[in-house]
Amino acid sequence: MKRDMDLVRAIFLIAENHEDEYLQSSDFRRGLSEQFPDLQWSNEKLVVHVRLLREARLVEAGFSSSFGGEDFYDLRLTWEGHEFIADASDPRVWEEAKSKGGEASFAVFKQILVEVAKKMLMGK
């Protein structure tokens, strides 16, 4: 499964805007349908992306398995996760960074994102 950077951004935006420190999957799904009504992702894709973000130390989350499949709980952004969404929250910055480096590694994409955010902040 390929990483979906739009889903990554959605996860961060919903977690950052959540009132509590920890986000449950049910609250996440409600936020996803409210903030991104035109976008649909399978439960498997959501769980895989949360797991990838945890591996990258951008979020903390627990996982559970049941007969209905795997799910996550107690998702929260780490410091690095907050740093990422600080640059990625502006849709103009996001779209320009994606157009320049959407297929690059995450490390390179983050650098591009930071550079685009700096450029826009400086008004260039």
pLDDT in tens, 100-110: 987 889 889 99
Q: What is the pLDDT of residue 68?
A: 72
Q: What is the pLDDT of residue 61?
A: 96
Q: Is the dihedral of CA 30, 40, 35, 1 positive or negative?
A: positive
Confidence of residue 124 (pLDDT cuts 50, 70, 90): low
Q: What is the pLDDT of residue 49?
A: 95
Mean of pLDDT values over 6-22 = 92
Confidence of residue 10 (pLDDT cuts 50, 70, 90): very high
Q: What domains sit in the chain, N to C, each tagged with a CATH number?
A: 5-81 (1.10.10.10), 90-124 (no CATH)
Q: Is the dihedral of CA 62, 66, 70, 73 positive or negative?
A: negative
Mean of pLDDT values over 11-30 = 91
0.85 surpassed by pTM: yes
- In angstroms, the CA 59 to CA 73 distance is 11
Q: What is the pLDDT of residue 40?
A: 86
Closest CA to 94 of 69, 67, 112: 112
pLDDT in tens, 34-87: 988 888 888 899 999 999 999 999 999 999 988 778 899 999 999 999 999 999
